[in-house]
Amino acid sequence: MKETIQFKLNDESVRLEVDGERMLLWVLRTDLGLTGPKYGCGEGFCGSCTVLVNNEAVRSCQYPVKNVKGKDVITVEGLAKGGILHPIQQAFVKHEAMQCGFCTSGMILEAYSLLRKNPRPSIKDIIDGMEDHLCRCGSHTRVVGAIQTASDEMKGAVKR
Amino acid sequence: MSDQKYPVGPLAEVGAPLILGRRGFLKLMGGGIFIFFSAGDELFLQEPARSQAGRPGLPTDFNAFLRIGEDGRVTLFTGKIEMGQGPMTALPLMLAEELEVTPDMVDIILGDTDLCPYDMGTFGSQTIRSFGPALRSAAAEARIVLLELASEKLNLPPERLQAKDGVIFDKSHPQTRVTYAQLAQGKTIERHAAQKPALKTPAEFKVMGKPAARRDARDKVTGKAQYAGDIRLPGMLYGKILRPPAHGSKLKNLDTSAAETVSGVQVIRDGDMIAVLHEYPDAAEAALAKIKADYDLPEAVLNDTNIFDHLSKVAPPGRAVAQGGNLDEGAKMAAFTIERSYLNSYVAHATIETHTALVEFKDNKATVWASTQAPFRVKDEVAQALGIPAQNVHVIMPFVGAGFGGKTRNTQAVQAARLAKIAGKPVQVAWSRADEFFYDTFRPAAVVNIKSGVSNSGQIVFWDYEVLWAGERSSQQFYSIPHHRTVVRGEWGGGRGGGESGHPFDVGAWRAPASNTNTFARESHIDIMAAKAGIDPLEFRLMNLNDERMKRILKAAAGKFGWTAAKAPSRRGFGLACADYLGTYLATMAEVEVNKETGAVQVKRVVCAQDMGVAVNPDGATLQIEGCITMGLGYALTEEVHFRGREVKDLNFDTYQLPRFSWLPKIDTVLVNSPEVPISGGGEPPIITMGAVVANAIFDATGVRLLQLPMTPERVKEGLKRG
Ligand code: FES
Ligand code: FES
> pLDDT tens digits for B215-256?
999 999 999 999 999 999 999 999 999 999 999 999 999 999
Chain B contact present for A149, CB below 8 A: no
Q: Residue A136 Cα, ligand 2 centroid: separation in angstroms? A: 5
**Which of A36, A136, A138 lies at the smallest CB-CB distance from B629?**
A138
Our CA angle for B272, B276, B277, nearest 5°, is: 130
CA distance A67 to chain B (A): 17
Q: Residue B657 Cα, ligand 1 centroid: separation in angstroms? A: 15
CB atoms within 10 A of CB A30: 19
Is B5 a residue whose pLDDT tops 60?
Answer: no
Share of chain B above pLDDT 70, in %: 90
E strand map for A10-133: 12-19, 50-53, 56-59, 72-74
What pLDDT score was predicted for residue B17? Answer: 34
CB atoms within 10 A of CB A10: 19
Mean pLDDT of chain A: 96
User: What is the position in ligand 1's atom list of the atom closest to the CA of A61?
Assistant: 2
Higher-pLDDT residue of A7, B61: A7
Q: Are B418 and B391 a contacting pair, CB within 8 Å?
A: no
**B395 strand-pairing partners:** B368
B548: three-class secondary structure by DSSP = helix
What pLDDT score was predicted for residue B201? Answer: 86
**B590 strand-pairing partners:** B575, B606
What pLDDT score was predicted for residue B6? Answer: 29
The DSSP code sequence of A49-79 is TEEEETTEEEEGGGSBGGGGTT-EEE-GGGT
Is B407 a residue whose pLDDT tops 90?
Answer: yes
- Dihedral of CA B29/B33/B36/B40: which sign? negative
What's the CATH superfamily of A87-153?
[2Fe-2S]-binding domain (1.10.150.120)
Residue ranges per domain, chain A?
2-78, 87-153
Chain A contact present for B86, CB below 8 A: yes
Domains of chain B by range and CATH? 22-222 (3.30.365.10), 228-297+355-430 (3.30.365.10), 307-347+442-722 (3.30.365.10)
Q: Residue A105 Cα, ligand 2 centroid: separation in angstroms? A: 10
**Which is it for strands B319-324 and B483-489: parallel, antiparallel or unpaired?**
antiparallel
Confidence of residue B2 (pLDDT cuts 50, 70, 90): very low
Chain B contact present for A130, CB below 8 A: yes
Q: Are B212 and B206 a contacting pair, CB within 8 Å?
A: no
Give the C-alpha separation, B15 to B89, whole Å. 10
Average pLDDT of the segment spanning B109-133: 79
What pLDDT score was predicted for residue B29? Answer: 64
Q: Residue B17 Cα, ligand 2 centroid: separation in angstroms? A: 19
pTM of the model: 0.92
What pLDDT score was predicted for residue B199? Answer: 86
Lowest-confidence region among B195-199, B364-368, B442-446, B520-524: B195-199
Average pLDDT of the segment spanning A21-42: 98
Chain A contact present for B656, CB below 8 A: no
Q: Do B667 and A141 touch (CB under 8 A)?
A: yes
Indicate the helix (H) or strand (E) that contains B219.
helix B217-222
State phi, psi for B576 to the nearest 5 degrees: -145, 160
Average pLDDT of the segment spanning B427-440: 97
**Which of B400, B660, B664 lies at the smallest CB-CB distance from A141?**
B664
Average pLDDT of the segment spanning B348-354: 98
Helices then strands, counting H and E runs in chain A, come out as 5, 5
**Which of B214, B217, B664 lies at the smallest CB-CB distance from A127?**
B664
What pLDDT score was predicted for residue B674? Answer: 87
Radius of gyration of chain B (CA): 27
Q: Do A102 and B653 touch (CB under 8 A)?
A: no
Is B521 a residue whose pLDDT tops 80?
Answer: yes
Share of chain B above pLDDT 90, in %: 72
DSSP single-letter state for residue B128: I
Query: Quick one: B328 exposed, middle or buried, by C-beta within 10 A (0-12, 13-18, 19+)?
Result: exposed
Give the C-alpha separation, B206 to B201, whole Å. 10
Give the C-alpha separation, B692 to B586, whole Å. 13
Average pLDDT of the segment spanning B314-334: 96
What pLDDT score was predicted for residue B678? Answer: 80
Pick the CATH number of A2-78 from 3.10.20.30, 1.10.10.10, 3.20.20.70, 3.40.1190.20: 3.10.20.30
The DSSP code sequence of B346-392 is -B----SSPPEEEEEEETTEEEEEE--S-HHHHHHHHHHHHT--GGG
What pLDDT score was predicted for residue B497? Answer: 64
Give the C-alpha separation, B662 to B655, whole Å. 17
Give the C-alpha separation, B94 to B85, whole Å. 15
Q: Do A45 and B653 touch (CB under 8 A)?
A: yes
Lowest-confidence region among A94-103, B12-21, B221-230, B316-325: B12-21
Confidence of residue B338 (pLDDT cuts 50, 70, 90): very high
Q: How many residues does chain B have?
A: 723
B240: closest CA among B290, B278, B295? Answer: B278
Pocket of ligand 2 (CB under 6 A): A 98-103, 135-137, 139; B 84, 352, 402
Give the C-alpha separation, B168 to B159, whole Å. 12
Confidence of residue B124 (pLDDT cuts 50, 70, 90): low
Q: What is the pLDDT of residues B534-569, one digit of tens each?
A: 999 999 999 999 999 999 999 999 999 999 999 999
Confidence of residue B499 (pLDDT cuts 50, 70, 90): low
What pLDDT score was predicted for residue B1? Answer: 24
What pLDDT score was predicted for residue B424? Answer: 97
Give the C-alpha separation, B632 to B628, whole Å. 6
Mean pLDDT of chain B: 89
Residues in CB range of B323: below 8 A, 6 or more apart: B484, B485, B486
B307: closest CA among B501, B483, B471? Answer: B501
Q: B220 to chain A: which residues are within 8 Å by CB?
A: 98, 101, 104
Distances (CA, A) of B371 to A94, B221, B521, B526: 27, 19, 33, 40
Give the C-alpha separation, B245 to A89, whole Å. 42
Confidence of residue B194 (pLDDT cuts 50, 70, 90): low
Average pLDDT of the segment spanning B126-143: 80
Q: Do B404 and A99 touch (CB under 8 A)?
A: no
Q: From B82, B220, B227, B352, give the residue whose CB has the most ligand 2 atoms within 8 Å, as the site to mutate.
A: B352
Distances (CA, A) of B309 to B42, B296, B301, B302, B653: 38, 26, 12, 10, 28
Average pLDDT of the segment spanning B348-365: 98
What pLDDT score was predicted for residue B21? Answer: 39
Is B59 a residue whose pLDDT tops 50?
Answer: no
Q: Residue B433 Cα, ligand 1 centroid: separation in angstroms? A: 10
Smallest CA–CA distance from B356 into chain A, residue: A39
The DSSP code sequence of B657-683 is PPP-GGGPPEEEEEE---TTS-----S
Average pLDDT of the segment spanning A90-95: 96
**A3 strand-pairing partners:** A18
Q: What is the pLDDT of residues B135-189, one digit of tens each?
A: 888 899 889 989 999 999 999 999 999 999 999 999 999 999 999 999 999 888 8
Is B73 a residue whose pLDDT tops 90?
Answer: yes
Q: A131 to chain B: which residues are within 8 Å by CB?
A: 660-662
Share of chain A above pLDDT 90, in %: 94
Give the C-alpha separation, A139 to B539, whole Å. 33
Q: Which of B230, B637, B661, B666 to mutate to test the interface with A (most CBs of A within 10 A)?
A: B661
Give the C-alpha separation, B391 to A102, whole Å. 31
Is B44 a residue whose pLDDT tops 60?
Answer: no
Residue nearest to atom 3 of ligand 2 (CA): A135
Is B25 a residue whose pLDDT tops 50?
Answer: no
Average pLDDT of the segment spanning B423-436: 98
Task: Write out residues 626-645 of B within 8 Å (CB-CB) of A.
Answer: 626-631
Give the C-alpha separation, B681 to B660, whole Å. 26
User: What is the position in ligand 2's atom list of the atom closest to the CA of A103?
Assistant: 4
Q: Which ligand is nearest to the CA of B217?
A: 2
Q: Are B485 and B492 a contacting pair, CB within 8 Å?
A: no
Q: How many residues does chain A have?
A: 160
Give the C-alpha separation, B480 to A3, whole Å. 75
Our CA angle for B260, B261, B267, nearest 5°, is: 15
CA distance A127 to chain B (A): 6
Give the C-alpha separation, B61 to B45, whole Å. 8
Q: Residue A117 Cα, ligand 1 centroid: separation in angstroms? A: 22
Amino acid in position A38? K
User: What is the position in ligand 1's atom list of the atom closest to the CA of A45?
Assistant: 3
State phi, psi for B255 to the nearest 5 degrees: -130, 110
Residues in CB range of B721: below 8 A, 6 or more apart: none
Lowest-confidence region among B86-90, B265-269, B713-717: B86-90
Amino acid in position B615? A
Confidence of residue B498 (pLDDT cuts 50, 70, 90): low
Q: Which ligand is nearest to the CA of B432?
A: 1
Q: From A48, A58, A103, A131, give the residue whose CB has the most ligand 1 atoms within 8 Å, as the site to mutate.
A: A48
Chain B contact present for A137, CB below 8 A: yes
Q: B631 to chain A: which residues are within 8 Å by CB?
A: 136-138
**Which is it for strands B32-37 and B64-68: parallel, antiparallel or unpaired?**
antiparallel
Amino acid in position B54? G
Q: A30 to chain B: which residues are within 8 Å by CB?
A: 238, 279-282
Q: Do A141 and B225 touch (CB under 8 A)?
A: no
What pLDDT score was predicted for residue B90? Answer: 86
What pLDDT score was predicted for residue B33? Answer: 85
Task: Write out residues 257-316 of B within 8 Å (CB-CB) of A.
Answer: 279-282
Q: Residue B693 Cα, ligand 2 centroid: separation in angstroms? A: 24
In SS3 terms, B57-118 reads as CCCCCCCEEEEECCCCCEEEEECCCCCCCCHHHHHHHHHHHHHCCCHHHEEEEECCCCCCCC
Q: What is the pLDDT of residues B601-654, one digit of tens each?
A: 999 999 999 998 887 778 778 888 999 999 999 999 999 999 999 999 999 999
B93: closest CA among B211, B201, B218? Answer: B211
Smallest CA–CA distance from B235 into chain A, residue: A30
Smallest CA–CA distance from A92 into chain B, residue: B221
Lowest-confidence region among B26-30, B61-65, B251-255: B26-30
Is B213 a residue whose pLDDT tops 60?
Answer: yes
What pLDDT score was predicted for residue B126? Answer: 62
